[in-house]
Amino acid sequence: MRAAADSVQERARKLFAGPIEFLKSAPELKFLPDPTLPEIAFAGRSNVGKSTLLNALTNRKALARTSNTPGRTQELNFFDVGRPAKIRLVDMPGYGFADAPKDLVKRWRFLVNDYLRGRQVLKRALVLIDSRHGLKPVDEEVMAMLDAAAVSYHLVLTKADKIKPTVLAEVLAATAVDAAKHPAAHPTIFTTSSETGDGIAELRTAVLDAATT
Q: Which structural domain range is residue 16 located in?
A: 2-212
* pLDDT tens, residue by residue, 156-201: 999 999 999 999 999 999 999 999 999 999 999 999 999 999 999 9
Percent of the chain past pLDDT 70, that is, above it, reads 90
Distance separating alpha carbons of residues 99 and 56, to the nearest angstrom: 28
Alpha helices in the chain (DSSP H): 2-17, 50-57, 102-118, 137-149, 165-179, 200-212
> In sequence order, what DSSP letters do the residues of 154-176 get, joined into one string?
EEEEE-GGGS-HHHHHHHHHHHH
Q: How many helical (H) and strand (E) elements, i.e. helices and strands, does the chain have?
A: 6, 7
State how many domains the chain has: 1
Distance separating alpha carbons of residues 121 and 35, to the nearest angstrom: 6
| CATH number of the domain residue 48 falls in | 3.40.50.300
Residue 97 has pLDDT above 80, yes or no: no
pLDDT of residue 204: 96
Taking the model in full, what pTM does it have?
A: 0.91
Angle subtended at Cα 97 by Cα 188 and Cα 206, rounded to the nearest 5 degrees: 20
Which whole number is the average pLDDT over 86-105?
80
Residue 148 has pLDDT above 70, yes or no: yes
